[in-house]
């Protein structure tokens, strides 16, 4: 009898743990042609949790019976929004089946009548101007905190020499406040891998030269008498270099062109510069004057029609003679017809494919992506992407610095906001050393790495372990 009761107890405990055990639902989103759909919005229902698909179309949901998750809603511009029950995906996972989810494409030609009595504005420039004017009404004007997954990689061709992955919080006092008033906190650090080969002699020389020319005040602990061989001086140089070139707050402010919108004209003394030494791409009245806007087509998003607008330079663009020879700005904006809401902005510099030395090939000099999602009739940042030359670059400028931000949750509750404002340190320093929190990351909704990114990470870990 005792053995029977013991066996029953063990079975009961095992069942409880298996019921509460976490299951990772790894899914691939694709179209009817089995092509991956990247950067689609994944909303976990009920609740405010979410993620996005990676460049390969994959996403992951960490599911337990205590989560009380029922459905996931998947939406992407140009596709029909669809809801999938969690249980059906869970059943596929238990059968060890690969989970492939499909969305149908949905787009229209301009001449097609698709929006009933909704007026379709044909002037792309006016559409863009209307979208700028409506931003204060569409972005949240009250304080809120966004929870995000952050990845920063330093790449050279098919390898990386540095990788940072973190969970971050961004406090936004509201759209009526300048973007510089936002606060940033690094909640948890998943990876901090560094295999850079730094020329400290050259770095110290450049550092002191910049200070002499009054271009950079720098760290007072570094002087003309400092030795580049001193480990402390090396540490100070790296800290100052990283913080001045790629601190998390600088990435967010420089890349989030829509949240950082400015009234009036951009000052002519601050030309657009991909390295942001003298300025950054800012959406202002000048931005409209300096670009051409062409209405490309109309797509659908969550059953709403959306303008797809191409962004090109015009004759008023700064240094246009130089741009004609080499670099030109290019982009695409997706703007909802009903209320002129910015849903997506893709913008960057490419080498002019018509320039004789470009040989018909276009390559990004820098590249930004900004995506928004809607909650309670307000727009919130969903995804932020920056790809530019690495500040550790060699003379060939082949190295790239890639930074990504993917939203996992939006917090609007005033009590929760006040609590986090008082308990988090809000340094926003992704270079700060934090202990690895296994329990936190086990339940975290992160942006999955692509197969290539995971391979690069594994190779970096191997190189560091070999050292």
> Which of the pair, 316 or 22, is modelled with greater confidence?
316
Gap between the Cα atoms of 391 and 199, Å rounded: 13
Gap between the Cα atoms of 168 and 248, Å rounded: 9
Print burial letters for 24-34: b (CB count within 10 Å at least 16), e (below 16).
ebebbbbbeee
Prior bond to 342 cis, omega within 30? no
> Which of the pair, 18 or 264, is modelled with greater confidence?
264
Mean pLDDT of 240-263: 88
- CA 182 from centroid of its chain's CA atoms: 17
CB atoms within 10 A of CB 411: 17
Gap between the Cα atoms of 414 and 416, Å rounded: 6
**Vertex 465 angle, CA 464 and 466, to 5°:** 90
Structure tokens at 50: 């979410």
Mean pLDDT of 251-273: 71
> Which of the pair, 172 or 392, is modelled with greater confidence?
172
pLDDT tens digits for range 347-357? 988 877 766 66
- CA 448 from centroid of its chain's CA atoms: 13
pLDDT tens digits for range 16-53? 333 345 577 888 999 989 999 999 998 888 776 788 89
pLDDT at 288 over 80: yes
Domain boundaries defined on the chain: 2-105, 124-466
The pLDDT value recorded for residue 336 is: 94
pLDDT tens digits for range 134-159? 988 999 999 999 999 999 999 887 88
The pLDDT value recorded for residue 375 is: 86
CB atoms within 10 A of CB 462: 10
pLDDT at 339 over 80: yes
The pLDDT value recorded for residue 398 is: 74
Q: Are 265 and 271 in contact (CB under 8 A)?
A: no
Structure tokens at 292: 């051409």
Which of 120, 102, 98 has the alpha carbon at shortest distance from 111?
120
pLDDT more than 90, % of the chain? 43
Q: Where are the beta strands (DSSP E) in 144-182?
A: 144-156, 159-172
pLDDT at 397 over 60: no
* Pick from 14-23, 41-50, 205-214, 439-448: least confident: 14-23
Pick the CATH number of 2-105 from 2.60.40.1120, 3.40.50.620, 3.10.20.600, 1.10.3720.10: 2.60.40.1120
Which pTM value belongs to this model? 0.86
């Amino acid at each position: 009898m005792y053995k029977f009761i013991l066996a029953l107890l063990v079975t009961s405990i095992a069942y409880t743990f298996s019921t509460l055990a976490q299951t990772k639902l790894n899914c691939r989103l694709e179209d009817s042609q089995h092509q991956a759909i990247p950067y689609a919005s994944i909303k976990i229902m009920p609740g405010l949790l979410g993620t996005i698909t990676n460049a390969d179309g994959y996403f992951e949901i960490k599911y337990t019976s205590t989560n009380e998750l029922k459905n996931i809603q998947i939406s992407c511009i140009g596709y029909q929004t669809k809801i999938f029950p969690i249980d059906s995906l869970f059943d596929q996972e238990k059968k060890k089946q690969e989970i492939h989810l499909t969305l149908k494409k949905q787009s229209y030609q301009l001449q097609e009548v698709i929006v009933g009595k909704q007026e379709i504005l044909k002037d792309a420039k006016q559409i863009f101007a209307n979208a700028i004017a409506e931003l204060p009404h569409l972005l949240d004007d009250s304080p809120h905190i966004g929870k995000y997954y952050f990845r920063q990689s330093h790449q050279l061709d098919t390898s990386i020499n540095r990788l940072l992955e973190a969970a971050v919080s961004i406090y936004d006092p509201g759209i009526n406040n300048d973007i510089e008033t936002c606060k940033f906190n690094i909640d948890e650090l998943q990876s901090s891998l560094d295999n850079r080969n730094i020329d400290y002699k050259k770095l110290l020389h450049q550092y002191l030269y910049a200070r002499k020319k009054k271009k950079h005040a720098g760290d007072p602990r570094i002087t003309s008498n400092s030795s580049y061989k001193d480990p402390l001086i090396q540490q100070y140089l790296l800290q100052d270099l990283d913080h001045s070139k790629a601190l998390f707050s600088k990435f967010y402010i420089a890349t989030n062109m829509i949240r950082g919108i400015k009234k009036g004209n951009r000052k002519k003394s601050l030309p657009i510069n991909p390295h942001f030494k003298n300025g950054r791409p800012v959406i202002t009245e000048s931005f409209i004057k300096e670009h051409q806007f062409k209405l490309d087509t109309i797509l659908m998003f969550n059953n709403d029609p959306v303008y797809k607008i191409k962004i090109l330079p015009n004759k008023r663009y700064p240094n246009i003679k130089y741009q004609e020879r080499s670099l030109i700005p290019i982009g695409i904006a997706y703007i909802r017809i009903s209320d002129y809401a910015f849903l997506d902005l893709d913008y960057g510099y490419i080498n002019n494919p018509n320039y004789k030395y470009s040989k018909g090939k276009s390559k990004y000099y820098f590249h930004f992506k900004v995506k928004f999602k809607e909650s309670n009739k307000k727009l919130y940042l969903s995804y932020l992407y920056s790809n530019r030359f690495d500040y550790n670059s060699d003379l060939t400028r082949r190295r790239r610095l890639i930074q990504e931000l993917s939203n996992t949750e939006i917090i609007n509750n005033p009590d929760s906001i006040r609590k986090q404002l008082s308990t988090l340190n809000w340094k926003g320093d992704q270079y700060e050393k934090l202990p690895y929190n296994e329990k936190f990351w086990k339940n975290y909704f992160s942006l999955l790495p692509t197969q290539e990114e995971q391979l690069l990470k594994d190779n970096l870990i191997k190189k560091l372990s070999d050292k």
